[in-house]
Amino acid sequence: MQSPSPLISTALVIGGGIFGVSTAAHLARMGVAVTLVNDGPLANGASGRSLAWLNSSRRRSMPYHRLRQAGIERYRVLADRHPGADWLRFCGGLTWDAEDDTNEIAAVFRHEREIGYPAELLSAPEVGTRIAGVEAGTVTGAGAILNPNEGWVDLPALIGLLAAEITAAGGTIVTDAGAAEPLVEAGRCTGARCADGRRLGADAVLVATGPAVPAMAAAQGIPIGDDSPIALLVETEPLAHPLATVLNTPRVAIRPTPGGAYYLDSGWSEEEVVVHPDGRYEALPSTVAGLIDEARRVMTGAPALAVRAVHMGPKPIPGGGEPVFGALAALPGCFVAFSHSGATLGLIAGELLAEEMALGLRHPLFEPFRPGRFAA
**Is the per-residue pLDDT at 12 higher than 80?**
yes
pLDDT at 1: 53
pLDDT at 355: 98
* Residues facing residue 205 across a β-bridge: 12, 334
Do residues 10 and 203 make contact, with C-beta atoms less than 8 angstroms apart? yes
Q: Give the span between the Cα atoms of 174 and 41, in whole angstroms.
A: 9
pLDDT at 2: 63
pLDDT at 4: 85
Name the strands in the sheet holding 204-207, side by side, starting at the edge strand that comes first in the sequence. Answer: 172-174, 33-37, 10-14, 204-207, 334-338, 324-327
For residues 203 and 337, state if they share a domain: yes
* pTM (2 d.p.): 0.97
pLDDT > 70 in the chain, percent: 99
Residue partners of 143: CB distance under 8 A and separation at least 6 = 96, 105, 121, 122, 123, 124, 126, 127
> What confidence tens digit (pLDDT) does each residue in 249-298 have?
999 999 999 999 999 999 999 999 999 999 999 999 999 999 999 999 99
**Is the per-residue pLDDT at 3 higher than 80?**
no
> Mean pLDDT of all residues in the chain?
97
328 φ, ψ (degrees, to nearest 5): -90, 110
For residues 241 and 357, state if they share a domain: no
In a domain, residue 73? The reply is: no
Domain boundary among 314, 331, 364: 314
Go through the chain and tell me how many residues it has: 376
**Domain enclosing residue 16, as ranges:** 10-48+155-226+319-373
In a domain, residue 58? The reply is: no
For residues 260 and 296, state if they share a domain: yes
Q: Are strands 88-89 and 151-153 parallel, antiparallel or unpaired?
A: antiparallel
What is the rounded average pLDDT of the residues 45-63?
97
The DSSP symbol for 316 reads P
CA 157 to chain centre: 14
For residues 310 and 167, state if they share a domain: no
For residues 232 and 324, state if they share a domain: no
- For the beta carbon of residue 202, count every other beta carbon within 10 angstroms: 23
In a domain, residue 291? The reply is: yes
For residues 273 and 206, state if they share a domain: no
pLDDT at 304: 97
Residue partners of 156: CB distance under 8 A and separation at least 6 = 42, 43, 47, 48
> What confidence tens digit (pLDDT) does each residue in 327-338 have?
999 999 999 999
- Helix spans in the chain (H): 18-29, 62-81, 105-114, 124-130, 155-168, 213-218, 267-271, 285-298, 342-359
CA 287 to chain centre: 23
> What confidence tens digit (pLDDT) does each residue in 58-73 have?
999 999 999 999 999 9
> What confidence tens digit (pLDDT) does each residue in 98-130 have?
999 999 999 999 999 999 999 999 999 999 999
In a domain, residue 117? The reply is: yes
For residues 272 and 328, state if they share a domain: no
CATH number for 253? 3.30.9.10
pLDDT > 90 in the chain, percent: 98
In a domain, residue 83? The reply is: no
Residue partners of 100: CB distance under 8 A and separation at least 6 = none
In a domain, residue 126? The reply is: yes
In a domain, residue 192? The reply is: yes
For residues 333 and 352, state if they share a domain: yes
For residues 160 and 134, state if they share a domain: no
> What confidence tens digit (pLDDT) does each residue in 214-248 have?
999 999 999 999 999 999 999 999 999 999 999 99
Domain boundary among 314, 332, 361: 314
For residues 202 and 323, state if they share a domain: yes
For residues 234 and 266, state if they share a domain: yes
For residues 218 and 331, state if they share a domain: yes
Domain boundary among 273, 296, 314: 314
The model's confidence at residue 166, banded by pLDDT at 50, 70 and 90, is: very high
In a domain, residue 69? The reply is: no
CATH number for 192? 3.50.50.60
**How many domains are contained in the chain?**
2
CA 24 to chain centre: 16
